[in-house]
Chain A
Amino acid sequence: MNLELQNAYQVKDNQNIILEMNDITKEFPGVKALDQVNIQVRENEIHALCGENGAGKSTLMNVLSGIYPYGTYEGEIYYQGKLCRFRNIKDSERIGIVIIHQELALVPYLSIAENMFLGNEQANAGVIDWDATYQKASKYMAMVGLHENPRSLIKDIGVGKQQLVEIAKALAKNVKLLILDEPTSSLNEQDAKNLLDLLLRLKDQGISSILISHKLNEINYCADKITIIRDGKSIETLTREEDISEERIIRGMVGREMTNRYPAREPNIGEVAMEIRNWNVYHPLYSERKVVDDVTINVRKGEVVGIAGLIGAGRTELCMSVFGRAYGTGISGQLIINGQEVHLKDIPQAIKAGLAYITEDRKGDGLVISNSIKHNITMSRPAFISNHGIIDKDLETKRAKELRAQLGVKTPTVEQNVGNLSGGNQQKVLIAKWIFAEPEILMMDEPTRGVDVGAKYEIYEIINDLVAQGKSVLMVSSELPEILGMCDRIYVMNEGHIVAELENKGVTQEMIMGYIMEDSKGDIGV
């Protein structure tokens, strides 16, 4: 492939090491987060950092950028051949190392230009030079291919463009080494590809990147080298000349061969458990905007049904509106559960009717981070552990422990706050919370988002367990391989309506994307 050849050529051409981190060890009270980690980044290189959640990737980058200052870790950092002792993030930025965090640090009510020069204002003696600000902003925006007015407010542009603003902001600081922590996690496929292409372009202009990502196809697409971290140790560094297939990377990350990323399941599909007919939902604020448009779908007992589509297709909105009208206004249509039409007016009714909606945003909408695991688990159906509204705390602890064991949540005690758990374990607690409510139909929205490969497999096994008990799972996922790997049947949704229903036999990612593209094309024609 062209790309591969091009990369191979560049690696030969530039042997200069820009960054070297030697034997970095970082300890937190009771935990060794990093244990003698080594990494080398060359000039003009995109260096991917892979590892499961909690492997220590973010800690390593925090050490590099000075968030954990010199003295709080062991080991040495050499940047452009010089030993670095950063006291804070300003120190590292001054010499061209800029980190962009997963959760963007932009101020929504300030303009693009203002955000870009936040903390780095174009000023003379403390007085801001607005002309210079806007002119420079336009220059850097052109470099990252962001075509917006620099006076637009951040809140008015999409997440994909916000990500570009972050990169432009880094360019404004004269970045030489860009660190990106999961930059594409909230982007759709098109925006994600644009971003990766931008990184490749920047590489040609002499800016190296360290890319932290869970998405192996993206790493495959743009990385020159891949360093794999597991349990706080650097395991190996793969280069493009070697095998960097997804299977190879995963083997390094989990420390064992994963022959199948999706556990097998004996299909045992029964009658229709839930049917949604002619379902329409309007936006809660802009009530003339139709978010879900005449959707008719069904799920059978023991079946995993997937809803594929781009972000913004209305999949989350569909599930939430079914779940006791948790979203939207002007909801119309029929909801039939076990052959009987039901009218669910609020969430408590939906839970009683055997529905569960497992949110895509576990920290924002799913869990109470400051509460214990057991309180979170029993929150969905406190009636099961209480009598006349009075909680039986011993029973609560017992049930929470049972679910912890059932779902394999790795924690010594159910009294622990969920905020202290890793992403994968939090996700399991979230699922446990809804299994506790004993639902018949589970709507799972991005059930493995931000979860590492090992935990993903365990969550798939949980899903298989659920359908083996005759429950139904309606799964929303933006990862097509996951949809293809897990579902019996697939609905493709685009711009609020269903564009295809596919029996999962011989379906490919290209076919699904094809349906979406075809549908979107029709729209432009109108």
Chain B
Amino acid sequence: MKKKKMFTGNMRELTMLVALVLIIVFFYIFTDGKILKPMNISNLINQNAYVVILAIGMLLCILTGGNIDLSVGSTVAFVGACAAIFIIEWHWNVYLSIGLCLLIGILLGMWQGFWIAYMNIPPFITTLSGMLVFRGATLLILKGGETIGPFPKEYQSLSTGFLPDIGGGITLFGQKLNLLALAVGIAIVVIFCAMQIINNINRKKKGYETDSAIALIVKMLGISVIVLYLFYKLASFKGIPTVLVILGILLLVYSFFTQKTVRGRHLYAIGGNMKAARLSGIKTKQMMFFAYTNMSFIAAIAGLVFAARLNSASPVAGQSFEMDAIASCFIGGASAYGGTGTISGALIGALIMGVLNNGMSLMGLSQNLQQVVKGLVLLLAVAMDVISKTNVVRAPRAKKTATAVVKS
């Protein structure tokens, strides 16, 4: 009998994870190890946080049937512009302004969700409209395209800041380390391992299938090493970036949502077969509305983070972000037809894109070449998946043939 899925169900994710590691090794060799310098890792996180955040939201849209949201780049710009107006022009309280900006994101999402879910306008059209409208609105409120900045320190720390250390850090092996980062890293490892073990014990008690001891150890060891390495690197620079906290929370919440909740399950069912989902009592319209409302909410978070990073609101902020987010999801194993894909896959996809960008910059390759490489990687990743599946029976797509009465 098969054990828990770790090594079976997630083959695509696993291959992409291996690919990510290989890419990192490649750049490690060709950048003389620069890519894994503590400062660079910290930069990597700060630079790519917005892509990962957007990919999380985009994944939910893609799950509903390969639907994408083209408007997120414009939403990022619009929300950033709103934040600048509130905070810089009108001198409102930073936290109140952040709250308002998130609310604006939700409203934009509800607008799009309404047309998509309840008026049956194809998501591509609706969000293409949103892309133009929100970009235009950004230019309008920025009075024809001025850049507004800088933001106060308090707001900037959203994206560029680090969590304050506890007790001034410690010195280990002649190196000054951030104590908080070390402590958090260790805490995560301990909690993760404890949860795995407790889960398995509980399963055994209830007579359910359990992980084999080896799989369990490999899993715990693998995750522990990665986490400890990452936090050790962070500790030897300035500690934990604030944005990593935001990212971590979003990743946890949405992983839990998609994997463990009934609502999350519904997203997969809708993408797999809308009609069957409806006849099973799933409120398909409500879920579509949710997916798009959520997407703009997530885009608002990304907008706030990105504005903080730029330290200004720019009318061209967020251009082609939607493409990065979409590409991340597909590289990470989401199906272009919907119904399959995971948050962790989207994270891996975004990291592959981010590392490629960063590594090529370190090697001194031009922006233009980077675009070419990223585009090819996307095609390659999806092609690999499709080719590996050609001999496997797959879901028949709704063929546009004259099968009025399809029977099996």
Contacts and interface: CB of A to CB of B under 8 A. Distances in A.
Interface of A: 28-29, 102-108, 154-155, 158-159, 162, 182, 185-186, 311, 323-324, 326, 346-348, 350-351, 357, 359-371, 375, 379-383, 386, 389-391, 393-394, 397-398, 412-413, 415, 417, 419-420, 423, 426, 433, 449-450
Interface in B320-340: 335, 337, 339-340
B89 interface: no
Contacts of A397: 208-209
B277 A368 contact: yes
A397 B206 CA distance: 12
Given A370-B272, A382-B262, A420-B393, A104 B339 contact: no
Interface in B166-212: 203, 206, 208-209
9 contacts: A107-B401, A326-B279, A357-B279, A365-B273, A369-B395, A379-B277, A382-B262, A394-B209, A415-B5
Contacts of B273: 364-365, 367-370
Contact of B268 (A28, A108, A186, A371): A371
Contacts of A393: 260
Interface in B300-358: 335, 337, 339-340
B222 to A, nearest CB: 21
B403 interface: yes
Given A361-B406, A415-B5, A366 B279 contact: yes
B91 interface: no
Contacts of B262: 382-383, 386, 389-391
B387 interface: no
Contacts of A182: 407
A371 B278 contact: no
Interface in B359-408: 391-396, 399-408
B260 A369 contact: no
Contact of B340 (A366, A370, A391): A370
A462 to B, nearest CB: 18
B265 interface: yes
Contacts of A391: 260-262, 265
B276 interface: yes
Interface string B241-285: 000000000000000000011110110110011011111111100
Nearest to B8: A415
Contact of A369 (B208, B396, B401): B396
B143 interface: no
B405 A363 contact: no
A162 B335 contact: no
Contacts of A423: 408
A167 B255 CA distance: 52
A413 B401 contact: no
A323 B280 CA distance: 10
A426 B281 contact: no
Given A368-B276, A394-B206, A397-B209, 4 more contacts: A103-B401, A158-B404, A368-B269, A426-B408
Contacts of B281: 324, 346-348, 350-351, 380-381
A105 to B, nearest CB: 6
Question: Which 10 residue pairs are nearest across A and B when measured between Cβ atoms?
Answer: A368-B272, A106-B402, A369-B395, A186-B405, A347-B281, A382-B262, A370-B395, A394-B208, A348-B281, A368-B273
Contact of A347 (B268, B279, B402): B279
B393 to A, nearest CB: 5
B276 A367 contact: yes
Contact of A159 (B263, B279, B405): B405
A155 B400 CA distance: 11
B261 A363 contact: no
A368 B339 contact: yes
A450 B408 contact: yes
B1 interface: yes
Contact of A389 (B261, B272, B278): B261
A108 B401 CA distance: 6
A154 B402 contact: yes
Contacts of A102: 407
A298 B266 CA distance: 33
A419 B395 CA distance: 6
B391 A105 contact: no
Contacts of A363: 396, 406, 408
A195 B340 CA distance: 41
A403 B116 CA distance: 37
Contact of B402 (A104, A326, A369, A375): A104
A182 B399 CA distance: 19
Interface residues of B, number: 48
A375 to B, nearest CB: 7
Contacts of B405: 159, 186, 311
A387 B405 CA distance: 39
Nearest to B273: A368
A182 B402 CA distance: 16
Contacts of B265: 375, 379, 382, 391
A419 B408 contact: no
Contacts of B401: 103-108
Contacts of A359: 276, 279
Given A107-B402, A415-B2, A370 B278 contact: no
Given A371-B269, A397-B209, A365 B275 contact: yes
Contacts of A413: 1-2
Contacts of A366: 276, 279
B92 to A, nearest CB: 36
Interface string B1-45: 110010011000000000000000000000000000000000000
B260 A390 contact: yes
Contacts of B402: 104, 106-108, 154-155, 162
Given A159-B405, A186-B405, A108 B2 contact: no
Contact of A108 (B9, B266, B400, B406): B400
Given A389-B263, A398-B208, A415-B9, A162 B404 contact: yes
B182 to A, nearest CB: 32
A506 to B, nearest CB: 32
A155 B261 CA distance: 41
Contacts of B279: 323, 326, 347, 357, 359, 365-366
A381 B342 CA distance: 23
A375 B408 contact: no
Contacts of A357: 279
Nearest to A382: B262
B272 A369 contact: yes
B278 to A, nearest CB: 7
Nearest to B1: A413
Contacts of A426: 408
Given A389-B262, A390-B260, A420-B393, A362 B269 contact: no
A197 to B, nearest CB: 21
A106 B279 CA distance: 28
A315 to B, nearest CB: 14
Contacts of A382: 262, 265-266
Chain A CB within 10 Å, residue with most, of B261, B392, B404: B404
Nearest to A187: B405
B271 to A, nearest CB: 8
Contacts of B2: 413, 415
A186 B272 CA distance: 24
Nearest to B340: A370
Nearest to B210: A394
Contacts of A386: 261-262
Contacts of B391: 28-29
